[in-house]
């Protein structure tokens, strides 16, 4: 049987399916002895924290395919894989629904505060909550979507259904995006226009090197004083030092970061001291369905091992 090494968590059902077709070895990516397991491996299954680069590939001379149980490929040196003839497969649409639901949950948590009644709440306290917790309707807001890929387009669709005014920005041409969003109105604008005219900016661009610190001091300077900035994509997209300075100067603003660079953030990360920053432990894709969808990358891993063309190849 072919040998497949799994270096991070994987759904039990998907791992069992793989084990029926391969010899499966579990070995944590940062545990000693991984090189010995990779020496005769035919396949490798990873998630977020295994760095697939020349150093790892040197330890895996027989590996024919590497499966990324997830969407982003930021932890892969794809040219190095291609140079060695190693196929890379992944699950690009596995967590779209989960991330979209999460983003709107974060938005609603902020604009529609909901304080539950405690046992023994007095009539006075009851009416005080009703008077003070007055929210904002989504239909009164403009949502700027930075990055109109799979997740960005789904967010635009949901936003339209909720009556939100939508601005979008992407490297992809406007005509191509509109073809994929029939019946969903939005204004396709440049970065600066999006920043200046959005009540909420949600970031969904990819992790290409050119996007590092896409949200920098210059970008932040164009945001509205009370804007909400959401990043549930990649930590490297935001210049955290610039964000700290901007939040200190704009106390009515709010930044919600589900992803970080590095991850996890250091215990003394300056954003922890910003009263208008919320740091979350990378939860956007953490649903049972999304995690299982990502783990089914093993289907494409086996396809490559059997000499078939995978459904979702990256290389």
- On the CB side of 294, CA atoms within 13 Å amount to 25
Order of strands across the sheet that contains 3-6: 23-26, 3-6, 43-46, 65-68, 87-89
pLDDT of amino acid 180: 95
Which residues, in sequence order, are CB contacts of 17 under 8 Å at separation 6+? Answer: 298, 299
Per residue in 233-277, pLDDT (tens digit) is: 999 999 999 999 999 999 999 999 999 999 999 999 999 999 999
- Respond yes or no: is residue 234 known to be catalytic: yes
- Respond yes or no: is residue 154 known to be catalytic: no
DSSP state, residue 295: H
Cα 170 to Cα 50, 72, 190: the distances in Å are 29, 17, 8
Q: For residue 64, which phi and psi values (nearest 5 degrees)? A: -105, -25
| Structural tokens at position 303 | 């396809």
Q: What CA–CA distance (Å, rounded) separates 290 from 293?
A: 5
Q: What CA–CA distance (Å, rounded) separates 278 from 109?
A: 12
Alpha helices by DSSP H, 20-76:
34-38, 54-58
Torsion, CA 254, CA 262, CA 154, CA 278, rounded to 10: -20
Count CB-CB contacts under 10 A for residue 300.
23
- Respond yes or no: is residue 263 known to be catalytic: yes
Catalogue all structural domains in the chain, each as residue range(s) with its CATH number.
Answer: 3-94+288-305 (3.40.50.720), 96-279 (3.40.50.720)
Instruction: Single out the catalytic residue among 154, 234, 240, 299.
Output: 234
pLDDT of amino acid 212: 96
Q: What CA–CA distance (Å, rounded) separates 227 from 235?
A: 19
- Residue 228's nearest CA partner among 93, 111, 79 is 111
Instruction: Single out the catalytic residue among 82, 133, 218, 263.
Output: 263
Reduce the DSSP state of residue 52 to 3 states and report it.
Answer: strand
Residue keyed to tokens 């992407």: 170
Instruction: Single out the catalytic residue among 21, 282, 286, 292.
Output: 282
Mean pLDDT per 10-residue section of the chain, whose length is 315 residues: 97 97 97 97 96 97 97 94 98 96 97 95 97 95 97 98 97 94 97 98 94 97 97 97 98 98 94 97 96 97 98 96
Packed helices 298-305 and 12-19: angle between N→C axes, nearest 10 degrees: 10
Are 160 and 139 in contact, with CB atoms under 8 Å apart?
Answer: no
Reduce the DSSP state of residue 142 to 3 states and report it.
Answer: strand
Q: What CA–CA distance (Å, rounded) separates 135 from 113?
A: 7
pTM over the 0.85 mark = yes
Cα 227 to Cα 141, 184, 224: the distances in Å are 11, 24, 5
Residue keyed to tokens 């990055």: 147
Are 181 and 157 in contact, with CB atoms under 8 Å apart?
Answer: yes
pLDDT of amino acid 109: 96
Q: What CA–CA distance (Å, rounded) separates 236 from 210?
A: 11
Q: For residue 157, which phi and psi values (nearest 5 degrees)? A: -65, -45
Are 18 and 44 in contact, with CB atoms under 8 Å apart?
Answer: no
Reduce the DSSP state of residue 104 to 3 states and report it.
Answer: helix
pLDDT of amino acid 66: 98
């Amino acid at each position: 049987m072919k040998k497949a090494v799994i270096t991070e968590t994987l759904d039990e059902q998907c791992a069992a399916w793989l084990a029926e077709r391969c010899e499966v070895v579990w070995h944590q990516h940062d545990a000693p002895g991984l090189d010995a397991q990779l020496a005769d491996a035919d396949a490798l299954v990873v998630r977020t924290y295994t760095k697939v680069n020349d150093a790892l590939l040197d330890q895996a001379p027989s590996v024919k395919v590497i499966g990324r149980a997830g969407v982003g490929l930021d932890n892969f040196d794809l040219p190095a894989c291609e140079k060695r003839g190693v196929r890379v497969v992944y699950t690009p649409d596995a967590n779209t629904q989960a991330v979209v639901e999460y983003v709107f949950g974060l938005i609603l948590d902020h604009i529609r505060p909901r304080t539950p009644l405690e046992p023994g709440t007095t009539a006075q306290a009851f009416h005080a909550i009703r008077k003070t917790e007055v929210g904002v309707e989504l239909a009164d807001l403009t949502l700027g979507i930075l990055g109109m890929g799979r997740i960005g387009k789904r967010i635009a669709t949901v936003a339209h259904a909720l009556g939100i005014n939508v601005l979008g920005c992407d490297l992809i041409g406007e005509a191509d995006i509109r073809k994929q969003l029939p019946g969903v109105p939005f204004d396709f604008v440049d970065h600066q226009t999006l920043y200046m005219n959005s009540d909420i900016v949600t970031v969904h661009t990819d992790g290409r090197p050119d996007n590092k610190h896409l949200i920098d001091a210059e970008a932040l300077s164009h945001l509205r004083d009370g804007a909400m900035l959401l990043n549930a994509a990649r930590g490297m997209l935001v210049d955290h030092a610039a964000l700290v300075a901007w939040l200190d100067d704009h106390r009515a603003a709010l930044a919600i970061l589900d992803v970080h660079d590095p991850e996890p953030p250091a215990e003394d990360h300056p954003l922890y001291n910003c009263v208008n920053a919320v740091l979350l432990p990378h939860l956007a894709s953490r649903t049972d369905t999304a995690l299982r969808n990502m783990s089914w990358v093993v289907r494409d891993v086996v396809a490559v091992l059997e000499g078939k063309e995978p459904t979702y190849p990256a290389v």
